[in-house]
Amino acid sequence: MMRTALMGLLGLGLGCARNPACGVEYPDKAHDPLLLMPVLPNGVWTACPAPPEGQPIMIGSQALRSVMGQAVLLDTFLNMDKGPEDGMEVLACMEDGKTHEALLRADFAGNQGRYLKFACISALGLKDGTPAVEFTGLPARGTPVRMRIYWHDDEQWKSIDASCLIRDRDMDRGYPPLPFVYTGSREVAGEQFGPDGKPMKVTRFMLEGTRSIAVVFDEPDALIGSPFPGTKENARFEANSALTPPVGTKLVLAIERTTLPLLLTSTEHGALSYQGQAVDDAQLQALLGKFYAPSAPADELRAVQIQEPPATEHEVDVAIRAHILAAAAIAKAWVVPVFSATDYP
């Protein structure tokens, strides 16, 4: 049964079929793994203490702060509370980023992107990973980070996982708590003409061009990659209007290191192990059912970390993802895989 489900998912590109008239992918409801998983309760804002104040990173600005070993904090505001019509690409952008398709806008400019990366390195010890490959479905590899949103509604502080404010049109509901994947954006070598008219070599930090802090779609130059399956196309993603506060509401976005409920290791060929022991399909289903059943705590991150050797071909991630999602559907669990840049032990 597992092998049949796995081959079906691989053959269908995670269960989607393309409509050539509009270039948008729609699910095959008989095989889309997310539609085969159990329905979870909707996310909710929960009362909480105020977020930590943190230390400013930029001179003359409080918009970006850090708490050593704990969090990077960004002042943002809600940029949209529904749509966009053609799908959402960006969870959070800088003030001059993709504002037409971003849920949150930060209160600092794209040319200050290096300060944000510095904060992630200095406060959280994050290392660069491997970005997603746009329009291919090849996922980001990096360090899982928790993205929380804090909101003071004039009565109390509330918080929610950022993923819960993203709605999946095909599932017809919002996502549960999920980590995002820190990759650090990229530096790309190139050439430009100098003042003397001669070509000169330059290095561009791509985050300062894209201004995308965290994304829903597979955008390679974002600082933080998407955890969602099916991100080849952005059409299925939109703002979860059932939970979003009014447009313009001030929010604090926190980036935090996190530990996921389950860690699996993989060989270069995609063979999975748990605590040093190889797992077959039945054992994998049992593990996913144990850690990610619908009865798991509502605030638990529903992702399994896949730790791979650095030399693993990127296409192997797609096969592992299909394997995990097929096993989760059979086990009646709700979980997605995220891929780790940590060196294989």
What is the predicted pLDDT for the residue at 189? 62
What is the predicted pLDDT for the residue at 328? 97
Tell me the one-letter amino acid at 70: Q
CA angle 91, 231, 119 (to 5 degrees): 40
Tell me the one-letter amino acid at 67: V
What is the predicted pLDDT for the residue at 209? 84
What is the predicted pLDDT for the residue at 137? 84
Answer whether residue 345 is part of any domain: no
Answer whether residue 92 is part of any domain: yes
What is the predicted pLDDT for the residue at 166? 97
CB-based contacts of 325, cutoff 8 Å, min separation 6 = 9, 14, 33, 34, 37, 229, 336, 337
What is the predicted pLDDT for the residue at 197? 66
What is the predicted pLDDT for the residue at 11? 36
What is the predicted pLDDT for the residue at 17? 41
Q: What span, in angstroms and rounded, lies between the C-alpha atoms of 332 and 130?
A: 31
What is the predicted pLDDT for the residue at 27? 53
What is the predicted pLDDT for the residue at 163? 98
- Per the CB < 8 A criterion, the answer to whether 260 and 144 are in contact is yes
Q: What span, in angstroms and rounded, lies between the C-alpha atoms of 4 and 29?
A: 16
What is the predicted pLDDT for the residue at 18? 42
Domain that holds residue 152: 2-340
Residue 74, token pair as written in the block: 């960004």
Answer whether residue 44 is part of any domain: yes
Token match 């032990």: residue? 345
What is the predicted pLDDT for the residue at 7? 39
Answer whether residue 130 is part of any domain: yes
Answer whether residue 135 is part of any domain: yes
What is the predicted pLDDT for the residue at 134? 82
Report the domain count for the chain. Answer: 1
CB-based contacts of 156, cutoff 8 Å, min separation 6 = 47
Token match 């909480």: residue? 48
Which residues are registered as beta bridge partners of 92? Answer: 104, 214
Answer whether residue 297 is part of any domain: yes
Which parts of the chain sit beneath pLDDT 70? Answer: 1-30, 188-194, 196-203, 205, 231, 341-345
